[in-house]
Amino acid sequence: MTEDKTISVEVVYALPHEQRLMRLLVSEGTTAREALIRSGIPKEYPEVDPDTAKMGIFAQVLGSKGLPPAESYVLQPGDRVEVYRPLIADPKEARKQRAEKAKRMAEKKKGAAGASS
């Protein structure tokens, strides 16, 4: 009988107030999705659905830029599976709102400076 070779990997999930890092020993051939399930993170955080969660390996998003999706990406020794939360706001819209707020603040300061002269 042959023994499965195991590799060491990490699965991480971060919230604004809390970070979870799970170190796992998994069989060679384990996928990123399988490691996420084995980590227990989906049970601990019900908002994490292993079938739809966006994941990456060292900030390289799985399923993009030529990388296979999480269900077929075979982990390598030392890989770090990162589970990404959905964006709360569109980055372009958030940037636009910050620029508008900064413009209003500058106008207020300019108006206050002119009134005191």
Residue-wise pLDDT for 22-43, tens only, equals: 999 999 999 999 999 999 999 9
Tokens of 12: 């991480």
CA separation, residue 34 to residues 21, 81, 90, 95 (Å): 16, 11, 30, 36
Q: How does DSSP assign 27-71, residue by residue?
A: ETT-BHHHHHHHHTHHHH-TT--TTT-EEEETTEETTSTTPPPTT
What pLDDT is stored for residue 108 in this prediction? 79
What pLDDT is stored for residue 115 in this prediction? 61
What pLDDT is stored for residue 89 in this prediction? 65
Residue 98: enclosing H or E segment and its boundaries?
Answer: helix 91-115
Mean pLDDT over each residue of the chain, to the nearest integer = 89
10-residue stretch averages of pLDDT, the chain, 117 residues long: 82 93 96 97 94 95 94 97 82 80 83 64
What pLDDT is stored for residue 107 in this prediction? 83
Of 47, 18, 20, 93, give the one whose Cα is nearest residue 10.
20
What pLDDT is stored for residue 87 in this prediction? 67
Tokens of 98: 């910050």
- Among all chains, which residue has been given the structure tokens 């009988």? 1
